A and B are shown apart, each in its own frame.
Chain A
């Protein structure tokens, strides 16, 4: 009889029977004894063991007795249950039933405590420390050691974010295994020998990994501590709340710990289907941006050209007056930070209150082709674990990355791909100008591609139904690429996943924060779709003509006589920062809903203060379309207003109530509406051709790095210290052709930028890569996007032209 199982599913024939403390238990083949014991509720103490790391058997804490290996013979010595694979019929005795195991474990705790300083009262880990807990549960209570403890100077900084206290270290190798096996950044390792063994790092290369914070979390003692959290709180004084990370579309489940109305730290949550037990340093450490003096707490209205504090009623009146004046000449720009509920509020506010389809969440380079693609392929598709999810990535045979750098743009996608590469032999192909650090760690096959030629490169790849194509949102700037990817998926049967960069993006697509989409993926142009929504909202009519997208709205605003309602966005996120600023300045009226003072609030007529992420309820939809809860972490008597609540107040004042004012109501209404089951809008016709560059010009390649000039990193300077150095990259041939050595000046669109140069063998020719949003030098100040023609030259040559007078500086000539 053949048993067919889905990948990863356990079938009965794979189960073996073992006996733990006399209790029969069936486990899948290959199960470690320590896990089998967990299945019947026996917790064997352990330190080095971690279910997501390869077994090492170093701490010897989990020793058990094996009187029968399943063949009638017993093991002569106690065995480490973290490295012992169950065999059929095996008998395992844990500390519960074996005096030998109990004594061995007690002895091991005593050994571990010999050289461990008993500084628990001042240790960050005290109160949540596996060593402390297990010493209490399985230890002798008192040490017989009368000798001298080993001491080291402490703490040692192994990166700007992580401190090492070697005295506390019990050498379990969790951190070093994490860095090598999980993130692939083996910049820490065990060095020296015997009792002097310690975690070491290269002196000239600190542990700058995007995932370094995880080692603090998995350290079973207080040896690795967080620079930002050190001595901030005791674990038992913290209140923990499960939350979803707001920094990218990965949807990481986190644990947010707060005390005294302040988030003290964030930890990776336990989400096997999403981030497993990991997260990235941005998600872990970047939570202080709302703490500065620029935090908005009260509404502002412009009075004689100057913003001044106003009462809520006054601000609402002012906003209502401005919006009334604007009439239908109004647009809504929502930005990417919104929860599903807030995005739904904006979408409904635009349609049902302002009566316009002028709404767009894309505060970044975007295209009309993309909006149509999103309507055709993305909106209204629900989470499908088997088809397109983290699990699906892990089980795929091939993953093709197009305009997408997972380590930079969706760090958990990177970790899951790396796991699949290590464990399942996944093949990763990347269509990119060069093999990035992340691609190298994925052992990815590089299809070196000149910006603009991605569609052609993609079409050269062999794929089938076991292939998943992940395309990033920056594909929008390459004409025809999104359409080509859709065609590719149709032709080969490959699955196509769109991975936006920001946490609110997928929710914004689903709730209709696009000029061509209503909530649930309903096309604005489809009368049946509109009838659906009209009925649900109880309105007589909805605008049927597609609205203006973000760029069009800003263009209209620049010409004047056009008002804007703006959520969270920064001009520098767009293609042309100055055009955005000009649009905001020339707009007839600007209402800004913001958390902090920004370039938008500076130019706004009315500013409403909005709750921080930790002060609001709601949900994010991640790239898989999985819902993650954004819980209210900080609960206050006067809870700050959410976007939704402000919009509801404005709607009330405009005389057209929004109908929802809490996240719960908004989500219920959105769910009630459901996904569109009618015809989807067809893809646009354009298949695009790579723009030819003039002689002497090269193509600009760019993407945002995880840690860059984003304002989300504000007030956590240590985090930015671990960012990658800001460099430009070219191929050796290109460097030779243009006489480049140590630095390069990139000029285009009337501006220039001089950066240190990294020459990358194997990089696509006639291409220069620069980071999109390096601190102080966002490309949007030059108005350059991926694929644009630029000229490059040595800084000296540029200087003769009056450009590039200093490294790392940019400007507009």
Chain B
């Protein structure tokens, strides 16, 4: 059973004070950096291309290709920005990584910066996770004093400044252009594209924006080679990745496995659903990816497998819900999140989610009316694909997929409150009675 796990990024998480430089180095930390600096940036970029590493933030764009989009002839400085604004509901992979082993990220940042020729790298971390920000700052400080960052790194003549920037906790700042606006000190709202960040990103200069896990994967690729990395995973989705299981599972947590593993395998690793309960529905990559059901347990959890099932791999946040859970209630909570996190820039997201929340509340209370399911779908149709950025697409994804798989429950929302169909205390992991709907 354990042979499905391929701990690379998570390998040192259980080490004593894994976040300290000395402990990281003891496991061979920063050897990859030495190796990278002994070759040319082009070689590093080529190696990452060959490895087949794809973005771990959700969209799965080939990392090496993204790096190669940075124009060589642009006179402006080049920037690397690490998106550490992990906020997708259910997603919990970057935070534990930065908490347990911040040096994995820092080493990756320096190697990636070297590859794309940047002198300033930023780690944009969401502001609420103060403890992690401190760990990151401490790690960067340690890296500077050890000569891994700053001027003339390890005598190579290469300089890079690494800056840890605390965001203010807005979900939209996980969207790369909103993140750049926020990093520049503006209000985080997505920018018009083109120009794309690779051409005019941070301070209107060429910028690579990568997810934490993507960058953290780079040292291992340098260290062990592209072939090693590509030996894991499936044909088009190479390498290992962190799956975060949450919800009604026995042992929730992070599971690092090759891409293409199935939820059935992961559930086995986590001891299955909680005792006496069955899987009802689940998200492959956070609430922004259309939900799946028990019939999809054996689909490969990779970019292609999920796309084929009409959903997305996303952040690999596997939220598992058992049969006690009301889909209507879950969807409402998610849409409430999107309504709250809508930046307000564009009409469909701002107004549409506002409307959906009010309508879904009627479903939850059993007071929806004939035609309201169609209305939900129609509103979702007017939001999805019409908004400025992908936030609203994610918002309606959970709604439309929920209606697709569980239309009955929405129909019941015209007569019976969700809390009567699915008493809420039954779906709580810890049986605490909710008084809100008494």
Binding site for B on A (CB under 8 A): 55-61, 63, 76-78, 83, 103-104, 107-108, 110-112, 114-115, 144-148, 150, 170-171, 189-197
A111 in contact with B352 (CB, 8 Å): yes
Which stretch in B16-24, B41-49, B302-310, B341-349 binds the other chain? Answer: B341-349
Tell which of B192, B352, B358, B381 touches A56, judged by Cβ atoms closer than 8 Å: B192
Q: Mark B341-376, 1 if CB is under 8 A from A, else 0.
A: 111111110111111001100000000000000010
Which stretch in B93-101, B142-150, B384-392 binds the other chain? Answer: B384-392
Contacts of B170 in A (CB 8 A): 193
B235 within 8 A of partner (CB): no
A110 in contact with B382 (CB, 8 Å): yes
B340 within 8 A of partner (CB): yes
Shortest Cβ gap from B194 to chain A (Å): 9
A111 in contact with B347 (CB, 8 Å): yes
Bound CA span A193–B347, Å: 12
Contacts of B54 in A (CB 8 A): none
B187 within 8 A of partner (CB): yes
Shortest Cβ gap from A407 to chain B (Å): 26
Shortest Cβ gap from B66 to chain A (Å): 21
A57 in contact with B192 (CB, 8 Å): yes
Tell which of A77, A110, A195 touches B350, judged by Cβ atoms closer than 8 Å: A195
A55 in contact with B375 (CB, 8 Å): no
Contacts of A107 in B (CB 8 A): 348, 378-379, 381-382, 386
Contacts of B344 in A (CB 8 A): 171, 190, 192-197
B316 within 8 A of partner (CB): no
Tell which of B192, B379, B386 touches A77, judged by Cβ atoms closer than 8 Å: B386
A195 in contact with B386 (CB, 8 Å): no
A57 in contact with B346 (CB, 8 Å): yes
A114 in contact with B386 (CB, 8 Å): no
Contacts of A150 in B (CB 8 A): 354
Bound CA span A114–B385, Å: 20
B347 in contact with A108 (CB, 8 Å): yes
B192 in contact with A60 (CB, 8 Å): no
B343 in contact with A144 (CB, 8 Å): no
Q: Taking CB as reference atom, which chain A residue is nearest B186?
A: A189
Contacts of A78 in B (CB 8 A): 385-386
B339 in contact with A194 (CB, 8 Å): yes
A77 in contact with B385 (CB, 8 Å): yes
Bound CA span A508–B348, Å: 56
A112 in contact with B347 (CB, 8 Å): yes
Contacts of A115 in B (CB 8 A): 351, 354
Tell which of A104, A148, A171, A190 touches B382, judged by Cβ atoms closer than 8 Å: A104
Q: Taking CB as reference atom, which chain B residue is nearest A150?
A: B354
What are 26 A-to-B residue pairs whose CB atoms are below 8 Å?
A: A56-B192, A57-B192, A57-B388, A58-B347, A60-B346, A60-B347, A60-B348, A60-B386, A60-B387, A60-B388, A77-B386, A107-B378, A108-B347, A110-B382, A114-B355, A115-B351, A144-B375, A145-B355, A147-B355, A148-B358, A189-B187, A193-B170, A194-B342, A194-B344, A195-B342, A197-B343
Bound CA span A144–B372, Å: 10
Shortest Cβ gap from A64 to chain B (Å): 11
Bound CA span A146–B355, Å: 9
Closest 3 CB pairs of A and B: A107-B382, A197-B344, A147-B358
Shortest Cβ gap from B324 to chain A (Å): 29
Binding site for A on B (CB under 8 A): 170, 172, 187, 192, 339-348, 350-355, 358-359, 375, 378-379, 381-382, 385-388
Contacts of A83 in B (CB 8 A): 192
Q: Taking CB as reference atom, which chain B residue is nearest A197?
A: B344
Most A CB contacts (10 A, CB to CB) among B348, B386, B387 go to: B386
Contacts of B340 in A (CB 8 A): 194
Shortest Cβ gap from B353 to chain A (Å): 8
Bound CA span A110–B352, Å: 9
Bound CA span A444–B346, Å: 36
Shortest Cβ gap from A284 to chain B (Å): 29
Q: Taking CB as reference atom, which chain B residue is nearest A148?
A: B358
Q: A147-B355, A193-B170 are in contact. List 11 more A-B contacts (CB 8 A).
A: A58-B388, A107-B348, A111-B347, A114-B351, A171-B347, A190-B344, A192-B344, A194-B341, A194-B343, A194-B354, A197-B345
A103 in contact with B382 (CB, 8 Å): yes
Bound CA span A592–B52, Å: 89
Bound CA span A147–B362, Å: 10
Q: Taking CB as reference atom, which chain A residue is nearest B356?
A: A147
Bound CA span A489–B258, Å: 75
A197 in contact with B382 (CB, 8 Å): no
Shortest Cβ gap from B200 to chain A (Å): 14
Given A115-B354, A194-B341, A194-B342, A108-B359 contact (CB < 8 Å): no
A76 in contact with B385 (CB, 8 Å): yes
Shortest Cβ gap from A147 to chain B (Å): 4
Shortest Cβ gap from A112 to chain B (Å): 6
Contacts of B351 in A (CB 8 A): 111-112, 114-115, 195
Given A56-B192, A108-B348, A190-B385 contact (CB < 8 Å): no
Q: Taking CB as reference atom, which chain B residue is nearest A85?
A: B194
Contacts of B388 in A (CB 8 A): 57-58, 60
A111 in contact with B375 (CB, 8 Å): no
Bound CA span A148–B359, Å: 11
B347 in contact with A170 (CB, 8 Å): yes
Contacts of B348 in A (CB 8 A): 60, 107-108, 111
Shortest Cβ gap from B42 to chain A (Å): 30
Bound CA span A189–B192, Å: 18
Q: Taking CB as reference atom, which chain B residue is nearest A63?
A: B386
Contacts of A191 in B (CB 8 A): 187
Bound CA span A195–B170, Å: 15
Most A CB contacts (10 A, CB to CB) among B345, B375, B388 go to: B345
Contacts of A60 in B (CB 8 A): 346-348, 386-388
Shortest Cβ gap from A120 to chain B (Å): 19
Bound CA span A78–B385, Å: 7
A111 in contact with B382 (CB, 8 Å): yes
Bound CA span A171–B343, Å: 12
Contacts of A76 in B (CB 8 A): 385
Q: Taking CB as reference atom, which chain A residue is nearest B358?
A: A147
Tell which of A59, A145, A196 touches B347, judged by Cβ atoms closer than 8 Å: A59
Shortest Cβ gap from A692 to chain B (Å): 49
B381 in contact with A194 (CB, 8 Å): no
Bound CA span A761–B359, Å: 59
A193 in contact with B375 (CB, 8 Å): no
A55 in contact with B192 (CB, 8 Å): yes
Contacts of B381 in A (CB 8 A): 103, 107
Given A60-B346, A193-B170, A197-B344, A108-B382 contact (CB < 8 Å): yes
B355 in contact with A193 (CB, 8 Å): no
Tell which of B187, B347, B378 touches A190, judged by Cβ atoms closer than 8 Å: B187
Given A58-B345, A104-B382, A197-B350 contact (CB < 8 Å): yes
Contacts of A189 in B (CB 8 A): 187
A104 in contact with B386 (CB, 8 Å): yes
Most A CB contacts (10 A, CB to CB) among B170, B339, B351, B386 go to: B351
Shortest Cβ gap from B133 to chain A (Å): 22
Shortest Cβ gap from A201 to chain B (Å): 15
Most B CB contacts (10 A, CB to CB) among A76, A170, A194 go to: A194
Contacts of B358 in A (CB 8 A): 146-148
Contacts of B172 in A (CB 8 A): 193
Shortest Cβ gap from A786 to chain B (Å): 41
Bound CA span A78–B388, Å: 11
Shortest Cβ gap from B144 to chain A (Å): 36
Shortest Cβ gap from A167 to chain B (Å): 13
Shortest Cβ gap from B188 to chain A (Å): 9
Shortest Cβ gap from B352 to chain A (Å): 6
Contacts of A114 in B (CB 8 A): 351, 354-355
Contacts of B343 in A (CB 8 A): 193-194, 197
Bound CA span A812–B125, Å: 65
Given A83-B192, A108-B347, A195-B385 contact (CB < 8 Å): no
Bound CA span A189–B186, Å: 11
Bound CA span A191–B345, Å: 10
Most B CB contacts (10 A, CB to CB) among A78, A83, A148, A193 go to: A193
